[in-house]
Structure 1
Amino acid sequence: MCEHAAVSLAPVPSAPVLVPVPRTLGLGLVLVVLIVAFESMAVSTVLPRVAADLNGLALYGWASSAFLLSSLFGAVLSGVLGDRRGLAVSTVLALSVFAAGLLVAGLAPSMTGFVLGRLIQGLGAGGLGALPWAVISTRYPEVARARMLAAVSSAWLLPALVGPLIASVIAAQWSWRAVFWGLIPVLVLSAPLCILPLRQRLNRPATAQERDSRRILWPALGLSLAAGAVIEGLRRPDLLAWPLVLAGLAGVAWTARALFPAGLWRLTRGLPAALALRGWAAFAVMGTTTFLPLALHELRGLSLTGAGAVLSLGGVTWTLGSWVQDQLERRYGEASRLLRARGGMVGVVIGVLLTALGVLGPLPLWVVGVGWVLSCLGMGVGYTSNSLLALSSARPGQTGQLSGQLANIEVLMVAVAAGVGGALIARVQPLQTAFTLAFAVTVLGALLTWLAGTRLQQPRK
């Protein structure tokens, strides 16, 4: 439930449809999203077994952070390539890179090799995550876009329901490597459905948003590298640790200026606070997802199947929360968004805290389920409401840019949370203490979502 955030700022232009849209294109898009979503949900479940088999607990956090940070840059790169060479070329590249990453991860002889495979996967997944929005906005008529967006979004539901459980069964009966290998044939079969209908390029001038995607290409790469330096510095026990952290923090501060509005880290009222809320909420809930299965396995003796069931429960609840949010939006309208966003973040704070107490031992194990349901329900209601609140405050012509900012802050903060949690697991002994500190960090992130919620504002009419 964390890595589906890998969509970043990519061209979402407005253009007339010049050729009829084959039905196979829609099917191909949905299949690609299903594959990426399944891989995303599966990795969190099998990662404890990967780390055990490859003796790679020291690089545990990097398995998620490498994917996320590379996906941030991969989405922007795919958008620029699609603008210059066409969507067919960018799609071929994204699919090929993602498949190569699956192969490298599945064949990895060490945890370093596995992290490399995840980094390659992220580059491809970033482009694949941005692909539906670029295709739908350029190849589908206005009346069909809402239906296709709903279909693409719904493609995440099935992997959220069964992905962790299927992955845990495959890992238990065969090998965790089969989780990665098994996706490659499906990817190969679905690729022509996407690529062939996109071979004809649209003749139109580049939009302002596409030009923006070129402008942020190098800042996006810089942000990924700088955040990676922070994560590696926190993980290392040697003399390079603090120089890396300080240099990385300086790099994040510098590159963020080109990607996000001023006042983001100060929680300035309005749009910066909405972006900060999204980032810290992702940090708290999706960041917890990256180490929750390992904590349940190591501290509570839960099997990977049991840990996968907890993640599946969270995915279902998040979807339910999104449905509840939609019903509240229909019934009470835009005026209720502020209250929904703040109320959802209260659920996140309480839910993450209960989850932590249930995993660490002060409360019974069943409290983990209650806490995780509450936190994911809060995300379903509050996360989407906050996004709608932010988008409604955007000036005309800036909606696409803001959508990219919402995605980028999410990816960045989840990657940092995974890196911090992984660094604690690598450096702190015993594991009980490491997980206690990791949960303390994500609970703090949850509290900051509440603080950001107090700085939100309804857009002025």
Structure 2
Amino acid sequence: MTTASSTSATTSSAATATQTGGDTGGVLGAPYRALTLGIVSVVLLLAFEATAVNTAMPVAARQLDGLGLYAFAFSGYFTSTLFALVVSGQWCDRKGPMGPLLSGIVVFGAGLVVAGTAADMWLFVAGRAIQGLGGGLVIVALYVVVGRAFPERLRPSVFAAFSAAWVLPSILGPAVSGAVTQHLGWRWVFLAVPVLILLPLAVMGPALHRSEREQRRSAAAPRPEFDRRRSGFAAMAALGAGLLQYAGQRLDLLAILPGLAGAGLLLPAVLRLLPAGTLRAARGLPAVILLRGVAAGAFFASEAFIPLMMVTRRGLSPTLAGLTLTSGGLSWALGSWLQGRPGLQRHRETMIRLGFVLTAVAIAGTTLVLVPAVPTWAASVAWAVGGMGMGLAVASISVLMMKLSAPEDAGANSAALQMSDALGNVLLIGLSGVLFAGLGGGSLAAARDSPVPAAAFAVIFLVMTGVALFGALVSGRVRPRS
């Protein structure tokens, strides 16, 4: 199959385990401890940024007079990620994951600085796009590290560790970000996060360097050439997604041209970059890849608008609005831990379907908070249910992707999985932005002088509930034909 990374990105895990001291112990055993801690520290950085941004975004959008571009500030991140994912996959193949990982962290920090110093909303969106470039470089490199360095039996635990890294940011991130936003200003939420870059650089660097050195000694296959055509398709996908989002923000006749151009660029690029049959949910790996995008898009498109709803409709402070999402981060970690239990390993399909159902219930339940008689803490309860569902589904999808991938395709399919994730976020957050603006949510008058119309939030949540239920239906196709 044609993929974002080629065969050399994922030499057999068994061979790597032999090089690192044998397939014994857990993820914190001597052969894997340093890499596990390094990976967790990188995810910790991304998690702190995500929780902080969710809390500060409503205030930032208002002060920059850019509420109409609120969704763009989220989807712009994932748009640039589309391009970075392919570049990172090929970079990992040529030179190993250390280069894209460390470079991605630095670029990510630069994007935070641009966003934190932005004078208007468009510059703020540009900063978020730079962050997306860094995040795209990082996430594929992390998956390549997991595919190379950890045997199959430990991968569920590694993905559970990914989720566990969100626990502390989920607890402290909204409170800290909200306090900083209220007392120092939203800009410091972005300008302070780059300090955390020092942690993953210090922890990950030496361990990864040793792993790459051993990998080069054991590698037998020649390193592939850089595929410029794939990079071109990735650029087409990013540009097409950007044009579609721009067209959605205009909502006038002039939007037709950029909308058609965006679709004309995005569709053929996606068909070349994802495994054959992904868009029609073909059985096995294509359905698995598709479901990752469906899950991420439905959940994060809803999550992006929850703090804004709590601030504009229920009058909560940025701190309390951000804390609404804390329960989701905690339960996500719990769900991911549960899917890694030995007794549940043979129930991947069931856990994926259950995860989508719980996510749909959570998104629909959040809609009830628009009713004044419903207490605001109901949103936290609903999001705890959704986090549990995502922990079960997303981690199971990642494990199943690895299981259905031949050793020479595992890294490439990891890149496709992340690309599906980014596409799901771009398209569904973009759709949410169109719905939000079309129903009056983006008007400056509504933002400042009166509450944002309840319908602007309700329609988004109900549409995303339907998307999650679609994922539950498709989950039966993750099992390949006999």
TM-score tier after normalising by the smaller chain length: 0.7 to 0.9
Deviation at 1:460, TM superposition (A): 5.5
Kept in 2: contact 1:9–1:408 (CA 8 A)? no
Give the whole-Å Cα distance in 1 for the aligned partners of 2:203 and 2:340.
32
The residue that corresponds to 2:467 in the other structure is 445
Give the whole-Å Cα distance in 2 for the aligned partners of 1:331 and 1:192.
37
| Gap regions ≥5 residues in structure 1 | 1-7
Inter-CA distance 277–59: structure 2 relative to 1 (3 Å threshold): same
The residue that corresponds to 2:448 in the other structure is none
Deviation at 1:29, TM superposition (A): 4.5
1:98-247 pair list within 5 angstroms: 98-135=108-145, 140=149, 153-188=163-198, 190-191=200-201, 193-195=203-205, 202=213, 203=216, 216-247=230-261
Deviation at 1:457, TM superposition (A): 4.7
Between 1:375-384 and 1:78-87, the stretch displaced more is 78-87
Inter-CA distance 107–299: structure 2 relative to 1 (3 Å threshold): same
| Gap regions ≥5 residues in structure 2 | 22-29, 442-451
Q: TM-score of the superposition, structure 2-length normalised?
A: 0.82
Inter-CA distance 382–111: structure 2 relative to 1 (3 Å threshold): same
The residue that corresponds to 2:410 in the other structure is 399
* SS of alignment partner, residue 102 of structure 1: helix
Give the whole-Å Cα distance in 1 for the aligned partners of 2:401 and 2:147.
21
Kept in 2: contact 1:31–1:190 (CA 8 A)? yes
The residue that corresponds to 1:77 in the other structure is 87
The residue that corresponds to 1:282 in the other structure is 296
Kept in 2: contact 1:344–1:378 (CA 8 A)? yes
Counterpart residue identity of residue 398, structure 1: D
Between 1:111-120 and 1:432-441, the stretch displaced more is 432-441
Counterpart residue identity of residue 243, structure 1: L
Counterpart residue identity of residue 327, structure 2: L
State yes or no: 1:456 paired with 2:477.
Answer: yes
Inter-CA distance 410–132: structure 2 relative to 1 (3 Å threshold): closer
Kept in 2: contact 1:276–1:452 (CA 8 A)? no
Q: Residue 48 of structure 1: which of 58, 79, 88 is its match? A: 58
Give the whole-Å Cα distance in 1 for the aligned partners of 2:376 and 2:239.
38
Deviation at 1:142, TM superposition (A): 5.7
* SS of alignment partner, residue 138 of structure 2: helix
Inter-CA distance 345–141: structure 2 relative to 1 (3 Å threshold): closer
Inter-CA distance 82–240: structure 2 relative to 1 (3 Å threshold): same
The residue that corresponds to 1:331 in the other structure is 343
Counterpart residue identity of residue 339, structure 2: Q
Give the whole-Å Cα distance in 2 for the aligned partners of 1:166 and 1:103.
18
The residue that corresponds to 1:4 in the other structure is none
Q: TM-score of the superposition, structure 1-length normalised?
A: 0.85
Q: Residue 263 of structure 1: which of 265, 277, 283 is its match? A: 277
The residue that corresponds to 1:3 in the other structure is none
Deviations along 1:26-57, one digit per CA (max 9) or x if unpaired, are: 65544333222211221111100100111111
For the aligned residue pairs, the C-alpha RMSD in angstroms reads 3.4
Give the whole-Å Cα distance in 1 for the aligned partners of 2:101 and 2:242.
26
Give the whole-Å Cα distance in 1 for the aligned partners of 2:388 and 2:468.
14
Between 1:45-54 and 1:239-248, the stretch displaced more is 239-248
Deviation at 1:148, TM superposition (A): 6.7
Give the whole-Å Cα distance in 1 for the aligned partners of 2:478 and 2:35.
40
1:334-349 pair list within 5 angstroms: 334=346, 336-349=347-360
Deviations along 1:349-376, one digit per CA (max 9) or x if unpaired, are: 2221111222355855443233222222
Counterpart residue identity of residue 479, structure 2: Q
Kept in 1: contact 2:35–2:204 (CA 8 A)? yes
Counterpart residue identity of residue 468, structure 2: A
Deviation at 1:92, TM superposition (A): 4.6
Deviations along 1:88-147, one digit per CA (max 9) or x if unpaired, are: 543453233222111111111111111111111111122222333344555x58699768
Counterpart residue identity of residue 378, structure 1: G
Counterpart residue identity of residue 367, structure 1: A
1:426-445 pair list within 5 angstroms: 426-429=437-440, 431-432=452-453, 433-445=455-467
Counterpart residue identity of residue 414, structure 1: N
1:351-390 pair list within 5 angstroms: 351-359=362-370, 363-390=374-401
